[in-house]
Structure 1
Amino acid sequence: MKKFYLFLMTGIIALAFTACGGQKKNADGREAVDLTGAGATFPLPFYTMSFKTYGESHADKVSYGGIGSGGGVRNLKDGIVDFAGSDAFLSDDEMKEMKPVVHIPTCMGAVVMAYNIPGVASLSLSGEVIADIYAGKITKWNDKRLQEINPDVTLPAKDIILVFRSDGSGTTFVFTDYLTKVSENWKNTYGSGKTVDFPVGQAAKGNPGVAGIISQTPYSLGYIGSEYAFAQKLNYASVYNKRGELIKPSTESISAAAGDIPQDTRCSITDAATEGAYPISCFTWLLIYKEQNYSDRSLAQAQATVALMQYMLSDSVQSTTATVHYAPLPKKAVELSLQNLKTVTYNGQPIVK
Structure 2
Amino acid sequence: MKKLIFTAVVAIIGLSFISCESSGKLSGSGATFPAPFYNVVFKKYTEATGNAVTYGGIGSGGGIRSLKDKTVDFGATDVFLSDDELKEMGADVVHIPTAMGAVVLSYNLPEVKDLKLTAGLISEIYRGVITNWNDPKIKEVNPDLNLPDKAITPVYRSDGSGTTAVFSEYMSKVDSIWKSEIGSGKSLSFKVGIAAKGNPGVAGNISETEGSIGYIGSEYALALNIPSALLQNSSGNFIVANDKSISASADIDMPDDTRAVITNSSNPDAYPISTFTWIILYKEQNYNNRTEEQAKSLVSLLNYIIGKDGQDIAVKTHYAPLSSKALEKTNAIIKSITFNGNAIKS
What are the within-5 Å matches in structure 2 for residues 184-203 of structure 1?
A: 184-203=176-195
What are the within-5 Å matches in structure 2 for residues 264-343 of structure 1?
A: 264-343=257-336
Residues 95 and 257 of structure 2 are in contact (CA less than 8 Å); yes or no, is this contact kept in structure 1? Answer: yes
1:260: Cα distance to partner? Answer: 2.2
Query: Could you tell me which of 3, 9, 12 is aligned with 2:17?
Result: 12
Partner in structure 1 of residue 83 of structure 2: 92
User: Does 2:42 correspond to 1:51?
Assistant: yes
Amino acid in structure 2 at the alignment position of 1:138: I
Partner in structure 1 of residue 29 of structure 2: 38
Q: Which range is displaced more, 191-200 or 212-221?
A: 191-200
1:40: Cα distance to partner? Answer: 0.6
- Residues 246-286 of structure 1 deviation map (CA, whole Å, 9 limit, x = unaligned): 10111100110002211100011111111210001110000
Partner in structure 2 of residue 155 of structure 1: 147
Q: Which range is displaced more, 74-83 or 334-343?
A: 334-343
Residues 15 and 48 of structure 1 are in contact (CA less than 8 Å); yes or no, is this contact kept in structure 2? Answer: no
- Residues 310-351 of structure 1 deviation map (CA, whole Å, 9 limit, x = unaligned): 111101211232211110000111110110112211122221
Show structure 1 runs of 4+ deviating over 3 A: 13-16
Query: Could you tell me which of 150, 165, 171 is aligned with 2:157?
Result: 165
What are the within-5 Å matches in structure 2 for residues 249-260 of structure 1?
A: 249-258=241-250, 259-260=252-253
Q: Which SS does the other structure have where 2:64 is aligned? A: helix
Q: Which SS does the other structure have where 1:256 is aligned? A: helix
Partner in structure 2 of residue 182 of structure 1: 174
Partner in structure 1 of residue 3 of structure 2: none
Residues 341 and 352 of structure 1 are in contact (CA less than 8 Å); yes or no, is this contact kept in structure 2? Answer: no
Residue-pair matches, total:
332
1:201: Cα distance to partner? Answer: 1.1
Amino acid in structure 1 at the alignment position of 2:106: A
Q: Which SS does the other structure have where 2:249 is aligned? A: coil
Amino acid in structure 1 at the alignment position of 2:130: I
Amino acid in structure 2 at the alignment position of 1:56: E
| TM-align CA RMSD | 1.9
User: Does 2:236 correspond to 1:236?
Assistant: no
Query: Could you tell me which of 119, 138, 142 is aligned with 2:111?
Result: 119
Change (3 A) 1:264 1:159: same
Residues 20 and 27 of structure 2 are in contact (CA less than 8 Å); yes or no, is this contact kept in structure 1? Answer: no
Amino acid in structure 2 at the alignment position of 1:69: S
Q: TM-score, normalised on structure 2? A: 0.92
Amino acid in structure 2 at the alignment position of 1:76: L
1:51 and 1:103 map into 2 onto residues whose CA distance is 18
Residues 13 and 67 of structure 1 are in contact (CA less than 8 Å); yes or no, is this contact kept in structure 2? Answer: no
The structure with the largest helix share of the pair is 2
Partner in structure 2 of residue 24 of structure 1: none
Identity, % of aligned pairs? 52
Partner in structure 1 of residue 5 of structure 2: none
Amino acid in structure 1 at the alignment position of 2:55: Y
2:191 and 2:262 map into 1 onto residues whose CA distance is 26
Q: Which range is displaced more, 320-329 or 235-244?
A: 320-329
1:52 and 1:335 map into 2 onto residues whose CA distance is 25
Q: Which SS does the other structure have where 1:236 is aligned? A: coil
Amino acid in structure 2 at the alignment position of 1:241: N
Q: TM-score, normalised on structure 1? A: 0.90
